[in-house]
Amino acid sequence: MITVGRLAERFGLSRTTLLYYERIGLLRSTTRSGSGYRLYGDDTVARLRLICTYKGAGLTLAEIRELLETPEGPNRGILQRRIVELDREIARVRMQQRALVGLLKGMGDDDAVGSIDRDTWVQVLRSVGMSQEDMDRWHAEFERNAPQGHHSFLRWLGVPEEEALAIRAVVSRPPARGSRRKRKKR
């Protein structure tokens, strides 16, 4: 058994946050000590670990509640929606980055151009946990939703024209049944 203060410390949260989670029903103390302190068991620690994982992925407390209350396992729809939101957010941030690079270039700062290349981009995606399959899916969605934007993005990363066209052709084809697409890393 662990006290609310120790549990908060273990997860880098405030005591107030844990009490709020308890008040809204995300957590429940297992029991109380003889002097009235909340005590939490291993199940609650595991549940809080999951809450923190979901929170770290950007899910709302309402979405987290729904995921935790689904006895047959995580609701894939919630997680898939979050992936789509992140794709949009990434595209929005990339546009902001391009605008800033353009502004710097306009101010005579040519070092800003090409500051992000394909290898750096792939490294960033891998560092946030994206597999090659995730990146392929990201490219396919980008191509499906904004083909010209996808092409411009690939060129902005320094991908040669011919290779950009080849990447776009591969990701726009539906995969053969029962097979996985194999492509060069982007």
Q: What are the per-10-residue average pLDDT scores of the chain (186 residues)?
A: 87 90 86 81 90 89 87 75 86 76 64 65 79 84 83 82 85 59 46
Residues 110 and 50 in one domain: no
Domain that holds residue 42: 2-69
Confirm whether 98 is domain-assigned.
Answer: yes
Residues 64 and 86 in one domain: no
pLDDT at 182: 46
Q: What residue has token string 């609701």?
A: 75
Backbone angles phi, psi at 103, to 5 degrees: -65, -45
Q: Calculate the CA 145 to chain-centre distance.
A: 19
Q: What residue has token string 């609310």?
A: 4
Identify the CA nearest to 139 among candidates 171, 169, 173, 114.
171
Task: List 3's β-bridge partners, or say none.
Answer: 39
Record the tokens describing residue 141, joined without a space.
């969605």
Whether pTM > 0.85 for this model: the answer is no
Q: What residue has token string 């392929």?
A: 136
pLDDT at 61: 92
Residues 111 and 142 in one domain: yes
Residues 14 and 62 in one domain: yes
Q: What residue has token string 């302190």?
A: 37
Radius of gyration in angstroms for the set of CA atoms belonging to the chain, rounded to a whole number: 23
pLDDT at 186: 46
pLDDT at 51: 92
Asked which of 69, 93, 110 is the last residue of a domain, the reply is 69
Asked which of 46, 69, 92 is the last residue of a domain, the reply is 69
pLDDT at 183: 46
Identify the CA nearest to 141 among candidates 70, 84, 186, 71.
84
Answer yes or no: are the C-beta atoms of 94 and 157 closer than 8 Å. no
Residues 29 and 95 in one domain: no
Residues 89 and 167 in one domain: yes
Give the separation between CA 44 and CA 29, rounded to whole angstroms: 7
pLDDT at 49: 93
Give the separation between CA 153 and CA 133, rounded to whole angstroms: 19
Residues 95 and 147 in one domain: yes
Confirm whether 177 is domain-assigned.
Answer: no
Residues 107 and 167 in one domain: yes
Confirm whether 129 is domain-assigned.
Answer: yes
* Total count of domains within the chain: 2
Confirm whether 16 is domain-assigned.
Answer: yes
